[in-house]
Chains A and B, each alone.
Chain A
Amino acid sequence: MAVNPEIQGRVFPATAPYLVGREKVREFARAVFSTNPINHDVAAAQAAGYADVVAPTTFPVVVQEATLAQLLADPDANIDFSRVVHGEQRFTYSRPIVAGDELTAQLTVSSVKSLGGNSMVTADSVITDASGAHVVTAISSLVVRGDDA
């Protein structure tokens, strides 16, 4: 069963606010082999002009997760999770994420394409702060493998 092409353009409801915790930033930073003090040490981050520790570049994936869960759970989309492979990922920032940020994400299905029996679904999650200002857009392309021949 192919992914429903009619979900292209669909906008999902914004997620509940995600509060970026300092220890979560540190835990994520250790997990991606970051040794940069600005990811770990409040004094180093403040010396560089940030209010608190800065989240690693790929941290928005944690916030994006809640939006992708909406897409994958949508029966209309017809996405079989066991057939999903991560194809591409991109993060486009307006400003870095720092501990203390309260982030909300909203997903739009920007494209659904057919590629030799597979489907490629691209989802843009726009992540904003408590004031509504844009922080980062996380773009995921998921390859959904077609039925086995």
Chain B
Amino acid sequence: MIAYSSLTKGDVVAEQTFHFTRDSLVRYAGGSGDFNPIHYRDDVAASVGLPGVLAHGMLTMGAAVQPVVNWIGDPGRIADYQVRFTRPVVVDPAAGADVTVVATVAALEDETQIARIDLTATYNGETVLGKAQVRVTFA
């Protein structure tokens, strides 16, 4: 277990790249129950004016917190997690899509021993999540 006292604001604590494929989207659809066809059918995505089949925002959100979970070692220590969905992740049928997540210590709340970890999630050189903040309890 990482000690709260060892944390320093600004430190990058985890980094991971996720390779999303159409298989990932079908798996997430089944796991979550979100069967919106824009996440697996090119014709439907095109008919509503999208540049292609998109990853579920909640797949990106769900994956993006995993580097933090692995860093702290215990998913039960996450007290709060929020994101804004700012840009879609288009998943090419052959090449897929790579989303890179960097997790940084953004704030330390000494009284409650909670650390706020901010996530930067990038796809194709642009961020896809805004205000992506994870509150981790160390108490």
Contacts and interface: CB of A to CB of B under 8 A. Distances in A.
Given A28-B32, A88-B85, A89-B57, A36 B80 contact: no
A57 B82 CA distance: 10
Interface residues of A, number: 34
Interface stretch (B3-11, B61-69, B102-110, B120-128): B61-69
A35 B65 contact: no
Contact of B66 (A27, A36, A65, A91): A36
A131 interface: no
B27 interface: yes
Contacts of B63: 32-33
B82 A88 contact: yes
A55 B78 CA distance: 11
Contacts of B62: 31-33, 56-58
Nearest to B18: A33
Contacts, number: 107
Interface SS majority for chain A: mixed
Contacts of B79: 92-93
Interface in B13-37: 18, 24, 27-28, 30-34
Contacts of A54: 74-76
B74 A34 contact: no
Interface residues of B, number: 34
Nearest to A36: B69
Contact of A48 (B34, B76, B134): B76
Contact of B27 (A31, A38, A82, A87): A31
B30 A27 contact: yes
Interface string B105-138: 0000000000000000000000000010010000
A86 B80 contact: no
B69 A57 contact: yes
7 contacts: A30-B27, A31-B28, A32-B59, A36-B69, A61-B32, A62-B33, A89-B57
Given A28-B31, A57-B134, A88-B84, 5 more contacts: A32-B31, A33-B18, A56-B62, A61-B34, A89-B58
